[in-house]
Each structure stands twice: as structure tokens, then as C-alpha cells.
Amino acid sequence: MGTGRYAHVWRFDAGRICLDLVATGSAGGAPGASEQLPDPEHLAGWLAAARLVPPGTALPVLDDTWVARFHELRAVLDLLMEAQSGGPRADGMLERVNALAAGAPPGLRAVRAADGELVRALSAAPDCPGLLAVVARDAVDLLTDPVARAALRRCQGEDCRRLYLDTSRGGRRRWCSGEVCGNRERVARHRRRALEKEFPPGVE
């Protein structure tokens, strides 16, 4: 399967690829979000958009097993990140991530494109354990970095559960995306003010 067959506008604004994976599920996404990785074709598109594989990389062995394993890692990561926000400890999930992180990620090499430009390529065809290892290692790095852990936030947008790292000055970022949830809240605030002007409180 190639990586460019499915056109989808993916979001990568969480600040870490492990958090971006969590956001692809309906439980960890924005209001009204549905499952974004329902089948191999969608997963192939996400892997390419996330730059876990170079553009144009063929993934002929990507199948439903890959989808199930990425869903499993996503669920584990969601529980671990929830634990960082005061949720129940998830030590068993931590061991699962550690086991996946121990895998060997795909090797990279520099090759010449047709125009002579140096571009990234993989030294061998990527497999599922190797790509899972990339995401799991990112999660291990986040969880063991006190500065990153302290910057972990959950979006304050209405019904949004997306996680992100707040790297703003003063740590005052409220939304996973100012253009999405931030804009949605500004529109809602504008509508409330317009209604209050038209129907002031206490006026019959």
C-alpha cells in the first residue's frame, strides 16, 4: 500500500507525535471527532503525514493488524497521559510502552532525489514494530522529562479532550489549537454577547 492514496487534513499541533497519535481517536479528539485511523489506508496516510516514513514510502504489508496495534498503543498512551493529569496510575501500561520502545526504529539514510537534492529514505522496508517503537520512544522521552511533563495540558475547549504541550510564554495556552478550539470559543463568545445585547438580562 502506498502512503498517498487517501487525502485527509491531519492535525499535528500537540507538540509531540505520541500526543498526536492519541488525538486520532474519538475518545482523545476534539468535539464530534470520530475514529481517524479506521483502516490501513488511513493509517498509511497518517504515518506519512506524521513523517514517521518519508514521503512516497511504500507500505505493502500494512494491514488490519497494524491498525489494531496502533489502536492499542494509542489507548495505552491515553491512560498514561491521563495518569499525569491526576488520573489513576497505569504502571502496567508503562511496561507495555517500555516493551514497544525497546524495538528497533527504522534506519534512515540520505539519498539523491531526481533533482539532485538530498532527501531522507529508509534503509529497509519499515515494519510495524519499528514504527510503534518510534512513537513509544517519544512517549518515554516525554514521561521522563520533568519540563515536558509539567507542560502537559488538556484542551479547555468545550468537549475537547486533546492533549498538548504548552510551550507558550508564561504557560497560558488554553487550547490545543487557537485556530480550531480557540476560534470556536471566540465565535461562541461573540454570539453570546450579541444575544445579551438583543435580549438583556432581566428584560421581559
Q: Selecting from 3.10.560.10, 1.10.3300.10, 1.10.1040.10, 2.120.10.30, what CATH number does the domain 17-151 have?
A: 1.10.3300.10
What are the residue ranges spanned by the domains of the chain?
Answer: 17-151
- The pLDDT tens digits for 121-180 are 999 999 999 999 999 999 999 999 999 999 999 888 877 888 999 988 877 787 786 566
- The pLDDT tens digits for 19-68 are 999 999 876 665 556 899 999 999 999 999 999 999 889 899 999 999 99
Quickly tell me which residue has 488520573 as its cell.
Answer: 87
Question: pLDDT at residue 112 above 80?
Answer: yes
Q: Distance between CA 96 and CA 73 in Å, rounded?
A: 8
Answer positive or negative: Cα dihedral of 76, 80, 81, 82: positive
Closest to 10 (Cα-Cα) out of 30, 2, 1, 27: 30
Task: Give 198-204's long-range contacts (Cβ < 8 A, gap of 24+).
Answer: none
